[in-house]
Amino acid sequence: MNTYMENRFLFKFHGAAKEVGRSCIEICATGPEGPARILLDAGLKITEDREFFDDYPTEIDRPDEIDAVFLSHAHLDHTGALPFLNHMGLECPILCNSLTKEVAKLLLMDSLKIELLEKHSSVYNKNNITRVMDLIRPISMYQKDHIKGIWYKFYDAGHIPGSTCIVLEINGKRILYTGDVNHIETNLLHGSNEKFNNIDIMICESTYGDREHPNRESEEKRFLDTIQRTIEDGGSVLVPAFAVGRAQEVLMMLSKRHFGVPIYLDGMAKKVTKLYMQNGASLKDASALEKAWSGAIPIGGWQDRKEVVKQQAIIVTTSGMMDGGPVIEYARHHYFETKNLIVLTGYQAEGCNGRMLLEEGTLKLNEDVVKVRCKVEKFDFSAHSGCAQLKTMIKNIKPKVLILQHGEEKSIKNLASWCDFSEVHTPDIDEEIEVIM
């Protein structure tokens, strides 16, 4: 009897194909329980003008017939489309860990609030977010289980607390989805140290597929030295930071020195930091984050802010790209003093306020575009592996098929031309890739 069975997998890229944003990969396969359709992540692309069709993954046929969604982590570019998809009929189990669920809930609520503020309407509403939360089946790291005949197991991705790589097994064929992955040790996390065996198909992020990060330790020293000099010269420091992961990393670095001025924390980072402290097991050193938190003063609201801007201080606040949130109010009191400093600590997307600050020395503060007179510095505290680490990971895994996504075209091209041991795919948006094995 011939026991050999041919497996056919179809991968459809509804986002994050030669771009960063709106991660959403559909897999169609036939497992032991019949045909199945699943999604890996369901994210949003935050574009400057938030044009409707650019924001969401491209059209998914019959969302009501999707069997399961697997979430790698809470960032909106991996979860932000869930309420919209629920509005379009998605009603299946959503699998992720409980920390990802809690942080995603905060981010989705905030995203809806911003959408309503900016566009005065939204295709979905609060009920869709509530429904998405009800659909989530919390799973634990390293717990092996199955849904519709598809086995799955989540591994540590080292990107933000709770972030995961996901391994799926269908008819004995193993698919690895890296999600966003980081192998570099930070103050917040150890960095991923996972070993994956017998991977047939690897879907790999490629954010830094063509470049390396500076040495983490020397970057941290440069960061602290720059802030210290500003404080000694009588200036204040404004640190715009992403609420999820980056703000906590910044606080932990700041807690290593005594600056002699208050450190304030504002924006959604406060809630996220509390969630992380409640989930200490997902951190490298929970007590270090607690120490950093106790060394910072949380800002309650507008009354507090009015007082804070009158003092010499270090202010850590959202949003990381300076496109909204309390950072705008602080910047209005900060930009014209030459002794002050603005410290950018993360990726600044094309068209965002932080990018304009770096490239043109100007900032859009509400309706006014102003020439910035204070000092501006940029640091690289990325939560993504650099090119060398991505290559090491791919080389160690040696998948039969490598699919490169979640990166700009030049990053993906660089990795694709380097990899000579796998069948490499670099999908375009909406492209379908068929793998038969």
| Contact positions with Zn ion (CB under 5 A) in 231-270 | none
Q: What is the DSSP string of 72-88?
A: ----HHHHTTHHHHHHT
The CB-of-205 to Zn ion minimum distance in angstroms stands at: 9
In the bound state with Zn ion, the residue whose beta carbon lies nearer, of 182 and 426, is: 182
The CB-of-168 to Zn ion minimum distance in angstroms stands at: 20
Tokens 């507090």 belong to: 304
Residue from 41, 115, 180, 210 binding Zn ion (CB under 5 A):
180
Q: Please name the amino acid found at residue 254.
A: L
Strands 263-266 and 314-317: parallel
Q: Where are the alpha helices (DSSP H) in 255-403?
A: 269-278, 286-294, 302-308, 327-332, 353-360, 387-397
Tokens 């850590």 belong to: 316
In the bound state with Zn ion, the residue whose beta carbon lies nearer, of 98 and 171, is: 98
The CB-of-424 to Zn ion minimum distance in angstroms stands at: 23
The CB-of-72 to Zn ion minimum distance in angstroms stands at: 8
Q: Residues with Cβ < 8 Å from 95, sequence gap 6 or more?
A: 68, 69, 70, 71, 136, 137, 139, 147, 152
The CB-of-57 to Zn ion minimum distance in angstroms stands at: 16
Tokens 């300076």 belong to: 322
* Partners of 424 in beta bridges: 402
Distance of alpha carbon 54 from alpha carbon 338, whole angstroms: 39
Contact indicator for 64, 71 with CB cutoff of 8 Å? no
Which span (28-36, 174-182, 282-290, 291-299) binds Zn ion, by CB under 5 A? 174-182
Tokens 């490598």 belong to: 402
Which span (67-75, 90-98, 268-276, 369-377) binds Zn ion, by CB under 5 A? 67-75
In the bound state with Zn ion, the residue whose beta carbon lies nearer, of 45 and 375, is: 45
In the bound state with Zn ion, the residue whose beta carbon lies nearer, of 75 and 105, is: 75
In the bound state with Zn ion, the residue whose beta carbon lies nearer, of 115 and 205, is: 205
In the bound state with Zn ion, the residue whose beta carbon lies nearer, of 22 and 334, is: 22
Q: What is the DSSP letter of 382?
A: -
User: ∠ at Cα 107 (103, 111), nearest 5°?
Assistant: 170
Which span (73-81, 88-96, 111-119, 390-398) binds Zn ion, by CB under 5 A? 73-81
The CB-of-299 to Zn ion minimum distance in angstroms stands at: 26
In the bound state with Zn ion, the residue whose beta carbon lies nearer, of 180 and 194, is: 180
* Partners of 362 in beta bridges: 371
Which span (3-11, 25-33, 72-80, 107-115) binds Zn ion, by CB under 5 A? 72-80
The CB-of-354 to Zn ion minimum distance in angstroms stands at: 17
Indicate whether 75 belongs to the interface with Zn ion (CB under 5 A): yes
Q: H or E segment at 155?
A: strand 150-156
Which span (51-59, 173-181, 190-198, 279-287) binds Zn ion, by CB under 5 A? 173-181
In the bound state with Zn ion, the residue whose beta carbon lies nearer, of 73 and 425, is: 73
The CB-of-215 to Zn ion minimum distance in angstroms stands at: 22
Distance of alpha carbon 355 from alpha carbon 96, whole angstroms: 33
Kindly list the residues in this chain that would bind Zn ion in the complex (CB under 5 A). 75, 180
